[in-house]
Chain A
Amino acid sequence: MLSLLGAKHRFCDGISRRSFLSVGGLAVGGLTLADLLRADSSSPKGKSHKSVIMIFLSGGPPHQDMFDLKMDAPVEIRGEFQPISTRVPGLQICEHFPRIAAMMDRFATIRSLVGSEGRHAGFQCLTGWPVTQQPAGGWPAFGSIVSKLQGCANPGTPPFVSLTPKMKGAGWSDPGQPGFLGQAHAPFSPQSEARSSLSLQGVTLEHLSDRRSLMRSLDVLRREADANGSIEGLEAYQQQAFDILASSRLAEALDLNGEGDSVRDRYGRGSPEPAGYGDAGPLMNDYFLAARRLIEAGVRVVSLAYGRWDWHGRPHGTTFENARDHFPLLDQGLTALIEDLEQRQMLDDVSIIVWGEFGRTPRINKNGGRDHWPSVGCALMAGGGIRAGQVIGATDRLGDHATNRPVHFQEILATLYHNLGIDTDQATIPDLHGRPRYLIDHDKYRAMPELV
């Protein structure tokens, strides 16, 4: 019996969406049973590859309550938490991150994240670009670009997987769009509620091993797709889609029963129910474990949304009540992931970024919350061979703005590309007009020299 990630949602058809697999842009048609069987689950695992796990803290995490405490600020700004020392001499962080503090030498702390467009969405973290003034077709997500440039590391695993679930907050549930690269480079999204015409309705993971059942479902899907025209233009990545569906590798990666209870307990498990106001991602520490398993299976980029960090205060709890709820679980899950990767000697190959769309207001509002603050935010990076154990950038006494070494979103993405072996000064992708597009604004931003 497979245990899949995510909340179990029953819809009016009475079928649990949790048990469906869909592949971004899955197309069908023309494939024979032999094609499917060729995507054999017994294909060998590839050699170690470079990869990225992007942890999106949906809503805008409070930089000054996490990794940049302002103990000299007035009480209406300072917040409730005390700093604790870390393994990095002179670096202090919030008392509710004791495990991160104990392994701070594995992290690079960025206290001066700038350039946020102030929009409640994962888009800027996923692409590096603002939503406005996009090229035709839209900017592709980081993972989609990696899919385009590097393809699959293994035939049975997609290059880009998003564990971001469907949420009420639409901007937060963005798994990463392929933009002008087209659906061939959309993420595999086991958590999302896929368009029905592009999913294998009624096929559970257990049934994937039953090829006859699979073929029957594919026939139904093909007829529906032919009828509504959604099959057009999708041939290019049919094979990849079916390889993924027909292989057991991905299903095995997502089946956390493959891990012992002690491992899942170390990660913290978490809750599949939406955190906070109910409109954002759950505090699901199983995602971190699944991310590691997906990377092991050959995925190059795993993105996930974690929790609800948009804490404006009462009546949905003060910033500090929500922080006492979220911080310990992030502390547990993130450090478990780092330890696990390290024990498996994968940490130098896997880059981890933890961030949100912006920071929070220095001044605590009358409801005990902090509001949106695009002027500055924070990020944590680890793995990927970066020079960890350092703090980059600084803010003023109030946490109001960056005073030293402002770091733009695109610099972080450039660093992640660098860690994957992609040179942002050279690499381009063609847009819908065939014009080569650089991955970031390469005249202004490049991989952070402090880290690479």
Chain B
Amino acid sequence: MAEVRLIHTLRHPNAVYAVAFSPDGRQLATASLDNTIKLWNALDGRELVRLSGHRDGVCAVAFTPDGQKLVSAGLDRAVKVWDAQTHSAEVSFSQHGGYVECMALSRDGQWIATGSYDQEIRVNSLTGTTRYALKGHRDAVYAVAFSPDGRWLASAANDGQLLIWDLETGRKAREIKGFSGNVHSLVFHLQQPTVACGADDGAILFYNLETGEPRSKLHRHQRGVKCLAYSLTGDRLASGGVEGVAMLWDAQSGSYLHTLSGHTNSVYGVAFSPDAKRVATASFDRTIRVWEIAS
């Protein structure tokens, strides 16, 4: 079991959909249905700046690996690349024909994948140059994730499909089956060829990326798993769910470690600090909670 302590409760005036630590762990970016992104001092919880520009809720936010830029995606269909120092939006592009609900940034910081209610996935450079428009889902795309080496992209949609795309060819590589309902969250293990997905029924399922075969399953959440994150070292997994709690897991053994309680609505976003000593959770209850993991 882990010892965890709540150290900050941060607020937006509306639901919070995503949270990300800067690579140096000093800042926290949060994305909200209030159409804005907030940057916070992750150490003392002070609000640093509020970034406006999206014209609808902001569903996702991520720092580039060098910490110089911030990428956001909104329900207004726009993807924006912000200068993390000046806080100005340097690039903005809008290519989808419907709400954008999910976004992922490749680990090398070169590619942005977005999933939309237009049923497409777009893979773009940070300047908005399209690499692929991936078609195959039959309903809104709820989650996308890059593999650590950038070769694969996983996507899950409201059609009950979980697809693996080969980014060398831009073609669908395989479909993964074996879960209940829809998948709402996806994450790749950083060292192993494994993709984890969070399903409607509260299960977290692990699949072999190369074969699509199931590896293991964790089932402690009572309801849908909205978000997943691995620590950079790959030894911890965090999950957040519709029942308003987040959980910490030992990613190697699959052991349950702790439940982070206190949110009063669905937990939409979760992120580890780079040193894995803190975890932040973002909720529809308009708050972001920052927790310190003592052991």
Which residue numbers of A lie inside 8 Å of B, CB to CB?
271, 273, 275-278, 314-317, 321, 324-325, 328, 366-367
Contacts and interface: CB of A to CB of B under 8 A. Distances in A.
A315 B57 contact: yes
A366 B139 CA distance: 10
A255 to B, nearest CB: 23
A314 B200 CA distance: 14
B286 A325 contact: yes
Nearest to B100: A315
A324 B35 contact: no
B284 A324 contact: yes
B284 A278 contact: no
B140 interface: yes
A275 B35 CA distance: 11
B117 interface: yes
Contacts of B284: 317, 321, 324-325
A321 B158 CA distance: 18
B286 A277 contact: no
B285 interface: yes
A269 to B, nearest CB: 12
Interface string B10-28: 0001110000000000000
Interface string B243-278: 000000000000000000000111000000000000
Interface string B75-93: 1000000000000000000
A321 B13 CA distance: 15
A324 B265 contact: yes
Given A321-B266, A325-B284, A366-B158, A316 B34 contact: no
Interface of B: 13-15, 33-35, 56-57, 59, 75, 99, 101, 117, 139-140, 158, 264-266, 284-286
Contact of A325 (B59, B139, B158, B285): B285
A316 B264 contact: no
Contacts of A367: 140, 158
Closest 4 pairs (CB-CB, A-B): A273-B13, A315-B101, A321-B284, A324-B265
Contact of B34 (A278, A317, A321): A278
The residue among B57, B59, B99, B117 with the most chain A CB atoms within 10 A of its own CB is B57
Contacts of A314: 101, 140
12 contacts: A277-B56, A278-B33, A278-B57, A315-B101, A316-B33, A316-B75, A317-B284, A321-B266, A321-B284, A325-B284, A325-B286, A367-B158
Contacts of A325: 15, 265, 284-286
Nearest to A282: B13
Contact of B99 (A271, A275, A315): A315
A319 to B, nearest CB: 12
A276 B286 CA distance: 11
Contacts of B264: 324, 328
B23 to A, nearest CB: 28
A278 B140 contact: no
Contacts of A273: 13-14, 34
B37 to A, nearest CB: 15
Nearest to B244: A324
Contacts of A277: 33, 56-57
A275 B286 CA distance: 11
Contacts of A324: 264-265, 284-285
Contacts of A275: 14
Contacts of B139: 366
Contacts of A317: 15, 33, 266, 284
B158 to A, nearest CB: 6
A315 B56 CA distance: 10
Nearest to B116: A315
A314 B34 CA distance: 15
The residue among A271, A321, A367 with the most chain B CB atoms within 10 A of its own CB is A321
Contact of B56 (A278, A321, A328, A366): A278
Contacts of B265: 321, 324-325
Contacts of B59: 315
Contacts of A276: 14, 33
B158 A315 contact: no
Nearest to B34: A273
The residue among B33, B99, B101, B266 with the most chain A CB atoms within 10 A of its own CB is B33
A317 B139 CA distance: 17
Nearest to B17: A315
A270 to B, nearest CB: 10
A278 B75 contact: no
A190 B177 CA distance: 57
Given A271-B13, A317-B33, 12 more contacts: A273-B13, A277-B56, A278-B35, A278-B57, A315-B101, A315-B140, A324-B265, A325-B284, A325-B285, A366-B139, A366-B158, A367-B158
Nearest to B264: A324
B172 to A, nearest CB: 23
A279 B111 CA distance: 33
A317 B284 CA distance: 8
Nearest to B158: A366
B11 to A, nearest CB: 9
B286 A316 contact: no
A442 B285 CA distance: 45
A275 to B, nearest CB: 7
A421 to B, nearest CB: 41
B99 to A, nearest CB: 5
A317 B265 CA distance: 11
A271 B14 CA distance: 9
Contacts of A278: 14, 33-35, 56-57
A315 B286 CA distance: 15
A289 to B, nearest CB: 19
B140 to A, nearest CB: 7
B15 A315 contact: no
A273 B286 CA distance: 12
A366 B181 CA distance: 12
A363 to B, nearest CB: 16
Contacts of A366: 139, 158
Nearest to A321: B284
Given A271-B13, A325-B265, A366-B139, A316 B57 contact: yes
Nearest to B59: A315
A366 B59 CA distance: 19
A273 B14 CA distance: 8
B74 to A, nearest CB: 10
B15 A321 contact: yes
A351 B15 CA distance: 33
